Amino acid sequence: MDGLTGVRQRFAALEPVLDEKSRRLLAAAESKAWGRGGISAVSKTTGVSRQVIRQGLRELEQSPTHPAGRIRRPGGGRKSAREKDPTLVADLERLVEPATRGDPESWLRWTSKSVRKLAAELERMGHAVSYPVVAELLHQMGYSLQANRKTKEGDSHPDRNAQFEHINARVQQYMGLRQPVISVDTKKKGCAAEVRKGFTMN
């Protein structure tokens, strides 16, 4: 009983600074030092499950092959949206394909749909997904998300898609000729002093 009291006291003193890996290794070490019946005894005393203690014992027996700083074992932790829903990315791809649908030679890809609208369409297709996840997936797919801005010009130009199609065709043309293609992201500058609604300037 004295031995278990010592285990309990050590755990109580160290637990505030223990991460998941350190906790299971400490429990495993205490179990190993206890000897026969140590797994059950340490599990009841510390609250660490027997399965976790056995995992710690296996780690103690193995040579230290885990990268420094790793806390969870490989494969542990929350699964990504791609892993939980294998068809999610493929369906998102179909929603944001350019006008040249299915063309593998298409260099320019764009969509005027917001991430919220894309998330809503994916939900109608049976995917449980939020708009922040859609935004992250688009980023991983190479898209640059542009925030909506209120401008004095009004709505987007009606020929915007035609402009993208023209740029896409020109990119394909020059890539076919082995000519370099440079992408330049420009920003329109506005006046420093804007007349706000409800205010006048003298």
Domain boundaries, the chain: 2-61, 81-146+160-176
What's the pLDDT at 100?
37
Closest CA to 53 of 21, 79, 85: 21
* pTM exceeds 0.75 for this model: no
Question: pLDDT tens string for the chain (202 positions)?
Answer: 456 788 888 878 887 777 888 888 888 888 888 788 888 888 888 888 888 888 888 888 885 555 555 555 555 556 666 677 888 888 888 887 653 344 444 555 556 678 888 889 889 988 888 888 888 888 777 676 655 554 444 455 556 667 767 777 787 777 777 777 776 666 666 554 544 444 444 4
What's the pLDDT at 131?
86
Question: Are the C-beta atoms of residues 32 and 38 closer than 8 Å to each other?
Answer: yes
Classified as helix, coil or strand, 201 is coil
Q: Give the Cα separation of 72 and 78 in Å (integer).
A: 11
What's the pLDDT at 195?
45
What's the pLDDT at 102?
40
Please give the full DSSP string across 85-114, using - where no structure is assigned.
-TTHHHHHHHHT--SSTT-TT---------
In a 10 Å sphere around its CB, with 0-12 CB exposed, 13-18 middle and 19+ buried, how is residue 38 labelled? buried
Closest CA to 83 of 158, 26, 148, 133: 133
What's the pLDDT at 202?
44
